[in-house]
Chains A and B, each alone.
Chain A
Amino acid sequence: QQQVKQSPQSLIVQKGGISIINCAYENTAFDYFPWYQQFPGKGPALLIAIRPDVSEKKEGRFTISFNKSAKQFSLHIMDSQPGDSATYFCAARTHDYKLSFGAGTTVTVRA
């Protein structure tokens, strides 16, 4: 079964808008939460990541918000650009190395 639930499956946003992707998990053994960006025909690339002792992390236009008590985390893409159009995966790590991925969100940014 999916250990990390991701929503929405897809979203469309206008250029300059905010894209928000949500993920939820049950396994409290997860200790690291990365987000990956994947373009068609390419492998996933690490975008930004957070540890559960931090509630928010920001890198440029990308922000992760983390709610440990609710076991939820989200990715916000501010000032979305057409080049941000891609599939985004949240993930969670156990055993130092094993990642469980969400099903992915396809983001389309309209110019």
Chain B
Amino acid sequence: NAGVMQNPRHLVRRRGQEARLRCSPMKGHSHVYWYRQLPEEGLKFMVYLQKENIIDESGMPKERFSAEFPKEGPSILRIQQVVRGDSAAYFCASSPDRVNYGYTFGSGTRLTVV
């Protein structure tokens, strides 16, 4: 039973390019959460999605960031026109239902903007 799968593991983008981060939840999990970890900091909540629905995007920057979790396929976190400050580790987690007692996190995507 594979865990939460994120790819790519490492992503390098030039300023102004787009970054697409993918997350496949654990089998049977329909709730996906994205968190961002800046260097030397804890994780910060970004967005919570269920299949085809964004439930809570209160932690997402209002511009350049978007997320989706389509009926088929992985969840995608998209960052347009990346800037140096977007360099961070982005973690995805999943759970089988909304009220969860501890997510399962993936290994993350480390985004570097040069």
Residues on A lying within 8 angstroms of B by beta carbon are 2, 4, 6, 32, 34, 36, 41-46, 49, 89, 91, 95-104
User: Nearest chain B CB to A35's CB is how many angstroms away?
Assistant: 10
Residues of B within 8 A of A99 (CB): 35, 43, 45, 103
Q: Are B101 and A32 in contact (CB under 8 A)?
A: yes
Kindly state the separation between the CA atoms of A102 and B33 in the bound complex, as whole angstroms: 18
Top 3 A-B pairs ranked by shortest CB distance? A101-B42, A43-B105, A46-B102
**B56 at interface, CB cutoff 8 A:** yes
Q: How many residues of B contact A (CB 8 A)?
A: 27
Q: Are A49 and B42 in contact (CB under 8 A)?
A: no
User: Nearest chain A CB to B92's CB is how many angstroms away?
Assistant: 8
Kindly state the separation between the CA atoms of A51 and B93 in the bound complex, as whole angstroms: 21
Looking at the complex, which one of B4, B95, B98, B102 makes contact with A49 (CB distance below 8 Å)? B102
Kindly state the separation between the CA atoms of A6 and B43 in the bound complex, as whole angstroms: 13
Residues on B lying within 8 angstroms of A by beta carbon are 4, 6, 31, 33, 35, 40-45, 48, 56, 91, 93, 95, 98-108
Looking at the complex, which one of B48, B105, B106 makes contact with A98 (CB distance below 8 Å)? B48
Residues of A within 8 A of B6 (CB): 43
Residues of B within 8 A of A4 (CB): 42
**Pairs across A and B, CB under 8 Å, 17 listed:** A4-B42, A34-B101, A34-B102, A42-B108, A43-B6, A43-B106, A43-B107, A46-B103, A46-B104, A49-B101, A89-B43, A96-B98, A97-B99, A99-B35, A101-B42, A103-B41, A104-B41
